[in-house]
Amino acid sequence: MDSESPWAQNAQQFQQIFGDKISQVLQSLQQMGAGGAGAPGAAAAPLQIPAEKLQQVQQQYLEEAKALWNQSLQASTLAASDKRFSGDGWQSNPVAAFSAATYLLNARTLMELAESVQADEKTRNRVRFGVEQWLAAMAPSNYLAFNAEAQKKAIETKGESIAKGLKNLVNDLRQGHVSMTDESLFEVGRNVATTEGAVVFENDIFQLIEYKPLTGKVYERPFLLVPPCINKFYILDLQPENSLVRYAVAQGHRTFVVSWRNPDAEMAQKTWDDYVEDGVIEAISVVQQVTGAEQVNALGFCVGGTLLSNALAVLAARGREPVASATFLTSLLDFTDTGILDVFIDETSVKFREMQMGKGGLLKGQELASTFSFLRPNDLVWNYVVGNYLKGETPPPFDLLYWNSDSTNLPGPFYAWYLRNMYLENNLIQPGKLTVCGEKIDLGLIDIPVYIYGSREDHIVPINGAYASTQVLPGEKRFVMGASGHIAGVINPPAKNKRSHWTREDGELPDTLEAWLEGAQEHKGSWWTDWSNWLQAHAGKQIAAPKTYGKGVKFKAIEPAPGRYVKQKA
């Protein structure tokens, strides 16, 4: 095209329009960033972008927009770098490809503006998060009128894809969430959560599952897993080939798992103390009684690790040490670095939750699930909107995504207390600050061997947050970092020989993760074998495996695993 394009001819006018748009954007960003780290009720300071940076962004946008106009026939190449626009429908339609390339240019510019905002870190994170959400929602791929790929499929199927998409939409509206997998193909106890066992104890908060030994002998110290209560336990027992539960049993551990009840109106008054005392501490006691062991080995995953740490601190305050070693998988004890979740936490939001449900009520599981999904909106929300509704596709079967959609409620008092004392005020690492189950707790009293695992790309428990546990627990410690995220990093069986993990054999645990990494070594494959070797060293001698579940009349088998609690829907 001629160099004297409309962009060059009208640069001054365009710059004025751009400046006006920037003012509008800043006003929108101001709303996104409102309620930052300032005092409750205080007026937020106006968001500003340095004049020099604003001019730079403006000039860059002008140049890139001009280049895009001049290269409009090559727009398909520009858009193909984003998987949302890489299909044949986009590449064969110049108009659609140009709209996608324009969207990507605008998205880059808005993100650069968000990064340039002068504000405190919390406000900057909120602005960034808000812009990301808006940009994800406004992608042309999300709308049938602009999605060339969906239009192409509608023509090829003579409208059948649209009809199927409407059917999928009605189905998802009925079930209350976007389908991420074909949920009709899964059933808990039939093809997920299938490791053989029995429920040997239950109360109104949890069931305790004992698993059938796979070896002739077991270690004398039993092994108790405490999963998060914000999800169902069978993430640790999806399929036989990727089940951490089955792996532990196969290694010769007499294995027990806490299966939390999915809270309903009867549990609307339950507190953090209830989950610690009648949940974790009770589970430890029952395992001791069933096995006759003086001590058990315990593992806490995510919030289960936070609950386990509280239980251990309460027991230590009472002069008891029934746990010989503890494993913390992607768990937060020090809540200084909570990653992207910090954008939801401030005094105002926590007070609202306390007023809403602090004295009773339920946090619905779907609300919690939606929050976590929108932490990765393109992958966990809009990807399925496009596939399910615009293209009329049925998502492929995937056990992990079925589990992800099987949400759980939380008791309001439990949730409100957790938000304030962990996420907002970070009270757990302050000795004597918290009273839990009637005891002033101090993590410094948990003087037992611990294994701490963090995932490098975890967006829920940032790797720095996981590493911080090494600085607050006093006993013998081993830290291991795995590749991938919150779930995929943890559920990584050795047989797959996937990903990597990092260890530091000199035992040093410096103040920061960065310093730890300087002396760490990478190992190909799963961290499970490293953990198994560590746990074996704390498991005691081997004894004959039990022939029956439970013990006597008091702890007899109630029903086969996985039990009925895990099958309750939110």
**What whole-number distance in Å separates Cα of residue 197 and Cα of residue 246?**
10
**Residue 452 φ then ψ, to 5°:** -120, 125
What does the angle CA 200 – CA 206 – CA 207 come to, to the nearest 5 degrees?
20
**Residue 455 φ then ψ, to 5°:** -100, 135
Report residue 539 as tokens: 């498991």
Beta bridge partners of 48: 118
Strands 410-411 and 362-363: antiparallel
Q: Which residue do the tokens 């920037």 mark?
A: 22
Q: What is the DSSP string of 27-84?
A: HHHHHHH-S-SS-TTPPPPPPB--HHHHHHHHHHHHHHHHHHHHTGGGHHHHHTTSGG
CA 334, distance to chain mean position in Å, is 17
Which residue, 238, 118, 223, is CA-closest to 186?
238
- Which helix (H) or strand (E) is 217 found in, with range? strand 217-219
Strands 439-440 and 559-560: unpaired
Is 302 among the catalytic positions?
yes
Query: 302, 385, 422, 463: which one is catalytic?
Result: 302
**What whole-number distance in Å separates Cα of residue 452 and Cα of residue 332?**
10
**What whole-number distance in Å separates Cα of residue 79 and Cα of residue 102?**
9
**What whole-number distance in Å separates Cα of residue 291 and Cα of residue 262?**
27
**What whole-number distance in Å separates Cα of residue 451 and Cα of residue 236?**
17
Beta bridge partners of 278: none
- Which helix (H) or strand (E) is 455 found in, with range? strand 450-455
**What whole-number distance in Å separates Cα of residue 568 and Cα of residue 310?**
27
| DSSP structure class, residue 551 | B
Distances (CA, A) of 449 to 245, 446, 479, 513: 21, 9, 11, 20
Which residue, 296, 167, 117, is CA-closest to 221?
296
**What whole-number distance in Å separates Cα of residue 543 and Cα of residue 465?**
38
**What whole-number distance in Å separates Cα of residue 479 and Cα of residue 467?**
7
- What sign for the dihedral angle of Cα 511, 515, 516, 519? negative
Beta bridge partners of 296: 323
Residues with a catalytic annotation lie at 302
